[in-house]
Copies of this chain bind each other. A is one copy, B any other.
Amino acid sequence: MSIEARRDVFQAIADPTRRQIINLIAHKSMNLNSITENFEISRPAISQHIKILTECGIVIIRQKGRERFCEAKLDTLSEVTDWIEQYRQFWNEKFNTLDKYLNKVQSNNKLKKK
């Protein structure tokens, strides 16, 4: 049983740099230095971001000699999508139309009761 709270996907993708990293390695695994080349910040900074991304399962590391290739495991993001999708009925245009219809019916019922 690990004491430390597992990193959370929502928080992981909250940082713009981490989203950029995800975007970079989504297409192709890259080692740490290659990733760093695409940013202005230091290698240790990138290393720490990668650590966070691995801790919540978005990235997995494949060691190859002294290099560590970062591979995106983006199905983890479904946790976020799932959370959002449960609310889709509340902003889906089709639902809104239905909603308006139901409200109308409801209003009519109220009028009838009066």
User: Which A residues contact B (CB, under 8 angstroms)?
Assistant: 8, 10-11, 13-14, 16, 19, 22, 26-27, 72-75, 77-78, 80-81, 83-85, 87-88, 90-91
Contacts and interface: CB of A to CB of B under 8 A. Distances in A.
A77 B72 contact: no
Contacts of A77: 84, 87, 91
A81 B83 contact: no
A53 to B, nearest CB: 14
Contact of A87 (B8, B26, B85, B91): B26
Nearest to A84: B77
A77 to B, nearest CB: 5
Contacts of A26: 87, 90
Pick the 9 closest A-B CB pairs, nearest first: A14-B14, A75-B91, A74-B91, A11-B14, A74-B87, A77-B84, A10-B14, A74-B90, A26-B87
Contacts of A8: 14, 16
A90 to B, nearest CB: 5
